[in-house]
Amino acid sequence: MIVNLVITQGEYQTSADPAATISTLLGSCVACCLWDPVAKVGGMNHILLASTTCNAAKSDLAGINAMELLINDLLKMGANRTRLLAKAFGGAQMIRGLSEIGPSNCAFATNFLAMENIECVASSLGGTASRNVVFTPTTGAARVKAHHEAQMDVPVSRPMAHGNDLELF
């Protein structure tokens, strides 16, 4: 029986069950899928922000913490850090002109993997489309479904029209 583990912002899951999949929905967030093909264990995280200045209660939302939690859990399950492979997804620019969260998350993920010498064998990063990702942690297989690109514009504030000079007090 297939077991689908669903993760949301700031969460991660790992598994050594060949029947398990891990899935998530991404907009500007990034998911890093890591696995060890020899130990046949893997996992996925859902990174909300590349970094945060929030308190410790929200630190799971930050990229560095999300990556370390995932890697440490995989090591406890028997993975070898030198054999870890990665796939990275998400980081869309969902609202034009509002922020650079998506591109910042993409940069964090690619830089972290490079600094940690974890080979990223596939990615679908950036753009303006949200994505559904389904990852099989024991094999590293991933399916990505990009939704139509529907980037929203930030509403522009219009100056209020001035009426007559009547003053109310």
pLDDT tens readout for residues 118-160: 999 999 999 999 999 999 999 999 999 998 765 555 555 555 5
Percent of the chain surpassing pLDDT 90: 70
Active site residues: 29
Pairing, β 131-135 against β 142-146: antiparallel
- pLDDT confidence band for 1 (50 / 70 / 90): confident
pLDDT recorded at residue 163: 55
> In this structure, are residues 3 and 20 in contact, taking their beta carbons and an 8 Å threshold?
yes
Contacts of 85 (CB under 8 A, 6+ apart): 34, 35, 36, 37, 118, 119, 120, 121, 140
Per CATH, the number for 3-148 is 3.30.1330.200
Pairing, β 30-36 against β 95-96: unpaired
- Alpha helices by DSSP H, listed for 20-100, are 63-76
> In this structure, are residues 87 and 109 in contact, taking their beta carbons and an 8 Å threshold?
no
Q: What CA–CA distance (Å, rounded) separates 22 from 57?
A: 24
Is the pLDDT assigned to residue 54 strictly greater than 70? Answer: no
Using DSSP, state whether 46 is helix, strand or coil: coil
- pLDDT confidence band for 36 (50 / 70 / 90): very high
Residue 62's DSSP bridge partners are 49
The domain spans of the chain are 3-148
